[in-house]
Amino acid sequence: MPKRILPLTDLQVHKAKPQTKDVKLFDGGGLFLLVTPTGGKLWRFKYRFDGREKTLYLGAYPEISLADARQRRLDARKLLANGIDPAAAKKEEAAERARQEITFETVAREWYGKQLAAWSKGHADTVISRLERDVFPVIGSVAISKIKTGEVLAILRKVEARGALDTALRIKIIFGQVFRYAVVTGLIDTDVSAPIRPRDCLEKRQVKHHAAITDPKELPPLLRAIDEYQGSFAVKCALRLAPLVFVRPGELQKAEWSEFDLEEAQWNISADRMKMKEPHLVPLSRQAVEILKSLQALTGAGKYLFPGRTSARPMSDNTINAALRYMGFDKETMTGHGFRAMARTILDEVLQFRPDFIEHQLAHAVRDPNGRAYNRTSHLIERKKMMQTWADYLDGLKAGAKVIPFKKAAA
């Protein structure tokens, strides 16, 4: 018969002396105390898993008492009874603890590094400066898994309190992007900034006509947010086209491939699709054509540029507004219709194009000096020039160009 192992006592463990080589004092059930020549007393659990003999480290005495070690042995045996390797479970638990301790700053800088290739230097500098000035000093060293919604809101309100409401809104967008990155990389389960709706929690911005961003200084964050949009490619293309063509939201939503001549860089919208029931021609800038060509590879075989859940119908009339909300622009700040007010204001006040060129491009009812309605090709050369100048101007803003008024356009 095998020799019966007598359980250890607290006194035996306490008085165990080091020898010239390792000594094992067995407690039974696979638990033993390893006494090293240097005086260390280490609890170990010996077991078999998948036919192999293995040893699990349970901690050191006196930090882990005899009773603690026995409880850990019991926990390990329960795992074995359920077909789980205690050593693998311990390793996974340690890895999870390490993930749970990764700080917000570590995650934010990792996310930031992955965006640099697609960003201009000016935008990248703006993003990191906002993080380093307003966010990292407050929660940078906090584990991202432990950050609460209230802590995020407190940062936004602190920025708002110094009168930088626009910066607060941009930081809210950055928060969402960092937290969503943490979700997809498995560090957290949810974006804790998502419940924060600026219109409910922050001061109301002055509402502009058609809820549009018309100050050139406020355009770069919007244009960059569109470039960074993480939704479907078709919706991203619609967002990118909206400021370049500034048609009514329904006209963009229901755009059909048959209306486009990419070789001539023109979009011909039939009268039955126009509010004024007059056919409309949209000259397409080089940038707009590039977007359309990239989209054509995805949806060009169908009827609509932006199909809905089924190709037989276009995307929802709320898709653009929903995407703007997702990016952090509430309905008091920007709407799909607002791209029209944006273009009208800046083309007039900054780029100084003739108002009748602008109004005609907006498909408004415009009359010539004799009271006759302009037709769809009126001032086409000048409007083509205007649309390209406008697209180049937006690119310049997005790339970080100084916001200065253009000289009066030759028309």
44 is catalytic: no
Alpha helices in 213-285, H assignment, sequence order: 219-227, 233-245, 249-253
Q: Considering only CA atoms, give the Rg of the chain.
A: 33
**Which two three-digit tokens encode residue 367?**
């009359």
Main-chain phi, psi angles of 261, to 5 degrees = -120, 95
Work out the burial of residue 205: count CB atoms within 10 Å of its CB; fewer than 13 is exposed, 13-18 middle, 19 or more buried. Answer: middle
**Which two three-digit tokens encode residue 276?**
């004024």
The whole-angstrom separation of Cα 11 and Cα 304 is: 83
CB count, 10 Å around CB of 274?
Answer: 17
372 is catalytic: no
354 is catalytic: no
- Cis peptide before 62, with omega less than 30 degrees from 0? yes
Main-chain phi, psi angles of 62, to 5 degrees = -95, -5
Map residue 157 onto helix, strand or coil: helix
The residue annotated as part of the active site, out of 46, 210, 364, 379, is 364
Handedness of CA 164, 165, 171, 175 (dihedral sign): positive
Up-side HSE of residue 298: CA atoms within 13 Å toward CB?
Answer: 15
The whole-angstrom separation of Cα 138 and Cα 304 is: 47
Cβ(235)–Cβ(323) under 8 Å? yes
The residue annotated as part of the active site, out of 340, 344, 360, 383, is 340
The residue annotated as part of the active site, out of 123, 240, 337, 398, is 337
The residue annotated as part of the active site, out of 158, 275, 313, 408, is 275
The whole-angstrom separation of Cα 374 and Cα 379 is: 9
The residue annotated as part of the active site, out of 273, 374, 379, 384, is 374
Cβ(188)–Cβ(145) under 8 Å? yes
374 is catalytic: yes
Cβ(240)–Cβ(127) under 8 Å? no
The residue annotated as part of the active site, out of 70, 170, 240, 248, is 248
Main-chain phi, psi angles of 381, to 5 degrees = -60, -45
HEC states along 326-393? Answer: HCCCCCCCCCCCHHHHHHHHHHHHCCCCCHHHHHHHCCCCCECCCCCECCCCCCHHHHHHHHHHHHHH
Catalytic center residues: 248, 275, 337, 340, 364, 374
